[in-house]
């Protein structure tokens, strides 16, 4: 395969920086916990609550303003359209 082809350039490319040795700053579990806290839902019972689709949809669609004195993550606010 010639060096000018995109697959060859991709496969032989070199990263200028090594992978960080620590875990990601914001993991999926961390974002889920933050979203549940933002919504005012307890982490222990959210799976059972989500099984009732109509109730879960009503709960999720009703989230517009921060609940209590929780500091809202900028990612969640951006996703909420605020």
* pLDDT tier at 64, thresholds 50, 70, 90: low
pTM of the model: 0.50
Contact residues for 41 (Cβ-Cβ < 8 A; gap 6+):
49, 59
Give the start-to-end residue ranges of the domains of the chain. Answer: 23-80
- Mean pLDDT over all residues of the chain? 79
Summarize the confidence of residues 54-73 as an average pLDDT.
72
Q: What is the pLDDT of residue 51?
A: 93
Summarize the confidence of residues 6-25 as an average pLDDT.
82
Tokens of 36: 């549940």
> Distance (Å, rounded) from C-alpha 56 to C-alpha 30?
21
Q: Residues of the chain with pLDDT > 90: what percent?
A: 6
Q: What is the DSSP string of 64-81?
A: -S--TTPPPPHHHHHHHT
């Amino acid at each position: 395969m010639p060096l000018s082809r995109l697959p060859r350039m991709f496969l032989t490319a070199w990263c200028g920086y090594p992978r960080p040795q620590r875990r990601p700053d914001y993991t999926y579990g961390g974002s889920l916990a933050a979203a549940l806290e933002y919504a005012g839902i307890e982490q222990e019972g959210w799976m059972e609550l989500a099984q009732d689709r109509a109730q879960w949809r009503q709960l999720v669609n009703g989230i517009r303003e921060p609940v209590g004195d929780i500091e809202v993550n900028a990612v969640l606010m951006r996703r909420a359209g605020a």
